[in-house]
Amino acid sequence: MEEEKRTEAAADAAEEAPQLQPPTDGIAVDAASEAAENAAPTESVRESVTTEETTSLQEKDPSVTAWDFGGKTASETKTVRPLHFFAVFGVAFAICMVLLICAVLWGDGKFEIIRNVLQERIIYVRQDDGSSGLLTPNEAADAAKKYAVSISVTTAKGNGIGSGFVYSADGYIITNYHVIEDAEAVQVILPDGKAQDATVRGYNEAADVAVLKIAATDLVPATLGSSAELLVGDAVVAIGTPAKLDYAGTATFGTVSATRRLLALANESGSVTKKMTVIQTDTQVNPGNSGGPLVDMYGRVVGVVVMKITDFSGTAFEGIGFALPIDGVKVIVDEIIASGSFNGRNPIAEGRSLLGVTGHGGIKGLWYANEADANGSMASSETQQPGYHYMAANGVYVMGINGGNAMGKIVVGDIVLAVDGLRVSTTPELIAAVNRHYAGETVTLTVLRAGQETDVEILLYEEALS
């Protein structure tokens, strides 16, 4: 029995021996045997390794080579990161986004919220299928030079120069009336430099249009456009003969500044004599350009150069030129060619617009004579005089009613203070304000009557052209 106990104790000791500090040679033996086992695992051992075990090994050692089921090494080594890394990254990203949103909503205003604002715009569009003949500025000028001419005139005071253009192949030439006014002889210098004597077929002084005739049958006539189709900003070129014949065919370029500018033209004394509806352009024009063509970028005549503003009240101006609209010119020219004169409703010029009253300008606080003196002036006094009336305000004192729509609306003694809100204090200012409107339009006059301001509407009528 005792022998059996000793035998069991020895067996127990043998089983517990690997847990104790073994001798060195025992370690070598065990390590060698373990290496031999690992070096040559059986096929059944290889196949018994589960996917879960492989993943566990890779998590412990990122350098473990991944294998596919065929037993071949994968084309690249994959490193598997712990899932908690992505969780931490996601939380950090979410926190940053929350802080950014808070900064936008409750920040110091460095972030701007941009809103789309709808605005209405008018866009002018011309249809162009590519076959309309739109030219470059150089091409438009070259086209115009084929029908632009120079006009040489002889008067009792000397010689003058102007411009014009060929209207028809059989010798009709268009220019301004003021170019050939009082001319004793007229010559047309053609684009090839040849001069031909011309006769005046007819003219319309009010519209400043004249028609000449030369003996020719093979001229290149101008192509006419339509002034009604012009838009502000359209490119144009003026062809003319500024200063002298040496500069014939001069081309200057610019744009349309206004398509229907109403001009009130005055005589030497400053009184308005007529109104004209013209094209305004910033194209440079000079003395000698009068009567020449204003051409669009299709090589078509859209206007006839007529005048420019160089000085107003002592102030010099540049880039304010005017041309007669070709639509109106054509109406006048065709009738002159047919009959020698124009007697219809003038499409360019009209008489003054009238209120139907007479009066004088005055200064508040002064007394004025009831009638003008022999020179047409109104005597004034600082004190009351017999036959004088008092000016209770700066304006135009109404002295008489001539007729028209003012009858029954304006009375003698009214002082006109403003036209459509624009203050006036002299007769020329009143006439100019009224003539910014066409006859047939209604204006609102502000008048002082019996110490009270009141507004009255007056329908303007036209003075007949002389």
Please identify every residue annotated as catalytic: 178, 208, 290
- In sequence order, the 6+-apart residues with CB closer than 8 A to the CB of 219 are 147, 166, 168, 169, 170, 171, 190
Q: What does the alpha-carbon distance between residue 329 and residue 209 come to, in Å, rounded to a whole number?
A: 7
Q: What does the alpha-carbon distance between residue 204 and residue 271 come to, in Å, rounded to a whole number?
A: 21
Please count the residues of the chain. Answer: 466
Q: What angle do CA 189, 194, 196 make, to 5 degrees?
A: 65
CA dihedral 258, 259, 260, 261 (to 10 degrees): 20
User: Dihedrals φ, ψ of 380, to 5°?
Assistant: -135, 160
In the chain, the amino acid numbered 332 is I
* Dihedral-angle region of residue 139 (phi above 0 means left; psi in -120 to 50 means alpha; beta otherwise): alpha
In the chain, the amino acid numbered 105 is L
- In sequence order, the 6+-apart residues with CB closer than 8 A to the CB of 148 are 163, 164, 165, 191, 239, 240, 249, 292, 293
Q: What does the alpha-carbon distance between residue 395 and residue 408 come to, in Å, rounded to a whole number?
A: 20
Q: Is the separation of the CB atoms in 292 and 165 below 8 Å? A: yes
- In sequence order, the 6+-apart residues with CB closer than 8 A to the CB of 411 are 398, 401, 449
- In sequence order, the 6+-apart residues with CB closer than 8 A to the CB of 290 are 162, 163, 175, 176, 178, 179, 240, 305, 306, 307
* Dihedral-angle region of residue 369 (phi above 0 means left; psi in -120 to 50 means alpha; beta otherwise): beta
Burial annotation 450-463 (CB, 10 A radius, 16+ → b, else e): eeeeeebebebbeb
Residue 174's DSSP bridge partners are: 165, 211
H or E element at residue 316 = strand 315-316
Q: What does the alpha-carbon distance between residue 126 and residue 149 come to, in Å, rounded to a whole number?
A: 31
Q: What does the alpha-carbon distance between residue 253 and residue 285 come to, in Å, rounded to a whole number?
A: 10
Q: Which of 456, 370, 367 is nearest to 408 (CA)?
A: 456
The residue behind tokens 């729509």 is 405
